[in-house]
Amino acid sequence: MSSGNTMPASTKTSIITHRRRTERMDDPRVKTVLQAYADRRDQAIREAEGRRREALERIPGLAGAEAASRLAGLSYARLSAMGRLEEAKAWKMEQEASLRNIACLLQEQGYPADWLEPVFYCSRCRDQGYLPNPGGAPSPVRCACLDQRIREEIARSVDIRFPPEHTLAAFDETLFSPEADPKKYGVTLSPRENVRWIRKRCQDFVRDFADPACRNLLFTGPTGTGKTFMANCIGRELALKGYDVIRLTAPQLFDRIIRGKFDGDGTYQDILDAELLIVDDLGVESQSAAKFSIFYDLLESRNRTEPEKICRTLLSTNFKMKELVGFYDERIISRLLHWYDILRFAGDDARLTLSARRRECPGS
């Protein structure tokens, strides 16, 4: 039974290996976290140096013990590099003896044995975010503490852009009528069955996002039928997974592209490269040949990306398809029909239904 929606392509290919923005050093959220780590590490080292200066002033013999430790450490490293392992071993033992001597001097004056050491939040990575190369690995392994901090930073940034309550799991299908009325709603299913199918399709989109066969989405339908909510749900879930998501209204999109091209500030390239670009309220922008050209170039550019690069687009409009055909030129409509799965939202205004429900049951 058809709901009036175009079904997704059935062909599947293996999911490609994709490096998400949060695994790359150029992601601004990663940069923010790493800068916080660097600041925190510098602070710990400065505080340790302050304690060291205090201890050197108060503890006779500490400066000599430190000098002996440094000499032993340098000799050990030099001889090890030269392959003179037996001599290096002797200096290693000398260094360990010097360190024990430093600890004894500190404790004799009432200081903890590790008083001169920096106090890091994470002892495993010493607030660097990365562990020493295990087993000769070519690149550092990210510490669990850094992964956790990045997840927290992502969640913070996502909450700013997408309302926390906008999740696919929280979508309330009971706001939509269970009664089918093809003449009124334009779909053969009831609005509730239709939106239930759409939610499933959106869950599949999130699940298969890295699959090359994953197609773009075009939401159509009247105001208040859940298009913006569902788009936010998708954007939020993928952003939380670490994907680069940009969400704009159509007027914002054209304004930023025009200003970005003029200013040369990289805005246009960011829009082109976004792993998921969400454009809401398509069709409310003023009509002009220049904007049609911008939109066509955007669709073409985002469709021409390399196979290993994720570049999906989600468009949302209050127009019906026949209204879109009358608004945009033939080239744009052809791309929408060929490159997008069209999900047709239907029903009465869910916002009015929710408002009436809250009046009847305050606090719901």
Tokens of 288: 């002009």
The answer to whether the beta carbons of residues 336 and 220 sit under 8 Å apart is: no
Residues contacting 152, CB < 8 A, separation 6+:
none
User: Quick one: CA dihedral 206, 212, 213, 215, positive or negative?
Assistant: positive
In this predicted structure, the answer to whether residue 191 has a pLDDT above a threshold of 80 is yes
Percentage with pLDDT > 90 across the chain: 55
pLDDT at 113: 93
User: Binning pLDDT at 50, 70 and 90, where does residue 68 land?
Assistant: very high
pLDDT at 356: 76
**Could you tell me the CA-to-CA distances from 274 to 206, 278, 296, 311 in Å, in that order?**
15, 9, 17, 6
The answer to whether the beta carbons of residues 332 and 298 sit under 8 Å apart is: no
- DSSP characters for 247-295? EEEHHHHHHHHHHHHHHTSSHHHHHHH-SEEEEESTT-SPP-HHHHHHH
Tokens of 362: 């305050």
* Cα 357 from chain centroid (whole Å): 35
Quote the mean pLDDT of the chain.
85
Q: Which of 47, 19, 21 is nearest to 33 (CA)?
A: 21
pLDDT at 29: 77
* Cα 259 from chain centroid (whole Å): 25
Tokens of 7: 């079904």
Q: Which of 310, 304, 217, 274 is nearest to 16 (CA)?
A: 310
pLDDT at 196: 95
pLDDT at 229: 92
pLDDT in tens, 268-325: 888 888 899 999 999 888 788 888 899 999 999 998 767 778 899 999 999 998 999 9
Q: Which of 358, 361, 350 is nearest to 174 (CA)?
A: 350
- Measure the N-to-C terminal CA separation of the chain; round to a whole number of Å: 35
In this predicted structure, the answer to whether residue 241 has a pLDDT above a threshold of 70 is yes
pTM value > 0.75: no
Residues contacting 292, CB < 8 A, separation 6+:
328, 329, 332
The answer to whether the beta carbons of residues 9 and 215 sit under 8 Å apart is: yes
- Region of poorest pLDDT, from 122-126, 195-199, 311-315: 122-126
Of residues 223 and 284, more confidently modeled: 223
pLDDT in tens, 312-362: 999 999 999 899 998 998 999 999 999 999 999 999 988 888 777 777 776
Element at 279 (helix H, strand E) = strand 276-280
* Cα 176 from chain centroid (whole Å): 32
Q: Which of 8, 1, 4 is nearest to 200 (CA)?
A: 8
What value does the mean pLDDT take over residues 69-97? Answer: 92
**Could you tell me the CA-to-CA distances from 18 to 45, 167, 209, 210, 242 in Å, in that order?**
37, 24, 11, 7, 11
Rg, C-alpha atoms of the chain:
30
How many C-beta atoms lie closer than 10 Å to residue 11's C-beta? 7
What value does the mean pLDDT take over residues 124-133? Answer: 85
CATH number of 162-360: 3.40.50.300
pLDDT at 9: 41
- Every domain of the chain with CATH number 3.40.50.300 lies at 162-360
pLDDT at 157: 72
- Relative to beta strand 245-249, strand 141-142 is unpaired
Q: Which of 65, 62, 95 is nearest to 78 (CA)?
A: 95
pLDDT at 19: 46
